[in-house]
Structures are given as C-alpha cells and as structure tokens.
Amino acid sequence: MSQSSHVGSASSSPYHSHFQSPTKRRTKQRSCLLSSLFAIAFMVALVSVLYWLGSLGPAHEWSRPIGSEVVAVGEVSGPEDLAYDKRRRVIYTGCEDGWIKRVTVTDSVADTVVKNWVNTGGRPLGLALEKSGELMVADAFKGLLRVTRKKKVEVLADEVEGLKFNLTDGVDVAEDGTIYFTDATYKHSLDDYYNDIIEGKPHGRFMNYNPETKKVTVLARNLYFPNGVVVSHDQHFVIYCETIMKRCRKYYIEGPKKGRIGEFCRDLPGMPDNIHYVGQGQYYIAMATIPFHSKSCGNGYKVCTTTKGEWRSPCCGFGRKTNCTLL
C-alpha cells in the first residue's frame, strides 16, 4: 500500500546514475520498492478472487500459488486491493493513478477486459462492496468514499474528533451496513508513510461509520499502521492487520466480548497488508514484505483453519499458532 511513480529512462552517459543527487536516488529506490509491494499485495488478493473461479490449494514452498493465473498484465498500475462482484464476475481494483479499474474475468484469462471505471482524484486503497452494489473506498488522500452505481464519488468522512484522516487504508462492510475502516497514520501521508514505519510509533486508528447517523466512531487507537480490514464470516468480529507489528487483531462487534480486542494471528513471517475471507472459515493475507528467515523455512509454513485453529501443516519453529492461511 503506497504510491509509486514512473521512473524515466536513464541518460546515455554511463556515469549518469553514479552522479545522481541523493534525493533522486532515494526517489528511484522508493518507487521500485513500492511497485514491488503493490505487485505482491495484488497477486495474493487476486488469488482470493480466483478461489471462486477454480480450485486453489495451499503451496508447500515459496512459489506461485497452485491454481492461480496472472490477470490484466500491464493494464493496471499499482493495484492495491480487490472487491469482487460474484454476480457479474467483475473485479474492482484501485490504481496509483487514481483510477478504479473494472476487470471482467472469464474462463479464459486471455479474454480478460480491463476498463477505467471511476477516478477518485486521490489514491484508492481498500475496497469493499455493499449489498446494494455500491463501492466503499478507503482513499489515502480523500478519506472514506462511496462510489454509486452511477459512478458518483461521495465523501462519507475525512476526519473524526477534529483529527483528519491522513492515510485512509482498509475498509469492509458488515451485513448490517456498518462500514469498518482504518486510518494507518494521522501523522504521515502516503507520500512519506515510510517515516511512520521507521519511527515505529502507534499513530493509527480503527473506526466505523454508521450510514444512518453519518457518524464516525473510533473503536481502537494508538495502533501500529493498521491496514487491511475484513468482517468475520459469522459477523461476530472485525479483523484488522497491524502491519508494523506483523499481526492481525480482532475487534468484537457481537456477543459477550463486544467492544473488546483479541488476537487473531501474530508473529507472522512478514508484514500483513490486505486480508480477505475466501470461504470455509479461511482468510488469505497479503504480505507486503517477507523476511529472509521465513523464506528459508521450506514447507514449514503455518496453515490452519480459522474456526478451530487446527494445524494443517507443521510449523518450522518460529512464532506461535495462528488462525490464518499463508500461501
């Protein structure tokens, strides 16, 4: 989740790059890094969509997930999150140029159609569909948005308690219509969000928006770069990723624990970005980064169900038992 820029062609002089200013070098390096992170997040999120289009099984080593296919190659720039319309078999994804693309996938990837749908004028990150078919958007610069079926962009909220959203990030919608979303950091914007990660201090918030009262409520504050959001399949809690802490937590919205926060999974082998429910009590998490030590663990990744927390493959020795599926 980030904003990247296009890097122009290098000068013909072999010494050109050697004498670039530190600012230009940092810009190039940051652009390449952010583009790579977007690609990773998009690929894993795409796998969750393809779950409905065909069989998909967990991999036992670091390779492309079994049953996955690359869609819309070269037609989407910095895709961050996905919202999948099952009835129309259409994927919505937000790109770095402000466009929300509409991707139509058929049985043949070669026949995929990509169209510009709506430009928010900002940077669309998290996406989620309401029952009515309207699209909720967490826009890094604009705040919490709604895009109607007539493609009208409406700002639902851009501040709470007198404090502006500075990096609206993840979003999901509960069955009762309540919108849950994150502001990754109130201190830094998307242009310098990496400073927030380096600083390592809790500037994030997890909130909900009531469409009837049009009120925003802060549910959890002082979070370490809260990112992707998903409402649990039983509507009992909402999961949010805390990227810097390499964990996902859950906020209870029903039952005796309502209003309390619990652990969903922790000590992940990378920094969690987006999270999607894919059926059968399982969630897929897109990692923005994966440390070297995790790559060397071979087939020892933690893979378990979310309902009972039972292991489905052995652990390689790091971390603790989790409730997530890693590919």
Tell me the pLDDT tens digit for each residue of 171-181: 999 999 999 99
Lowest mean pLDDT among 81-90, 102-111, 230-239, 287-296: 287-296
* Confidence at residue 228, expressed as pLDDT on a 0 to 100 scale: 97
Across the chain, mean pLDDT equals 77
Q: What is the dihedral of CA 109, 110, 111, 114, to 10 degrees?
A: 80
Q: How far apart are CA 155 and CA 233, in angstroms?
A: 27
Q: What percent of the chain has pLDDT over 70?
A: 69
Most confident of 59-63, 186-190, 258-262: 258-262
Write out pLDDT tens, residues 247-260. Answer: 999 999 999 999 99
Asked whether residue 13 carries a pLDDT value surpassing 80, the answer given is no
* Confidence at residue 197, expressed as pLDDT on a 0 to 100 scale: 82
What's the pTM value of the predicted model, to 2 decimals? 0.73
Domains in the chain, start-ordered, CATH in brackets? 24-313 (2.120.10.30)
150-154 contacts, C-beta under 8 A, 24 or more apart: 151/117, 151/118, 153/118, 153/120, 153/121
Burial profile 1-31: b = 16 or more Cβ within 10 angstroms, e = fewer: bbbbeeeeeeeeeeeeeeeeeeeeeeebebb
* Confidence at residue 169, expressed as pLDDT on a 0 to 100 scale: 97
Asked whether residue 310 carries a pLDDT value surpassing 50, the answer given is no
Write out pLDDT tens, residues 260-281. Answer: 999 999 999 889 999 999 888 8
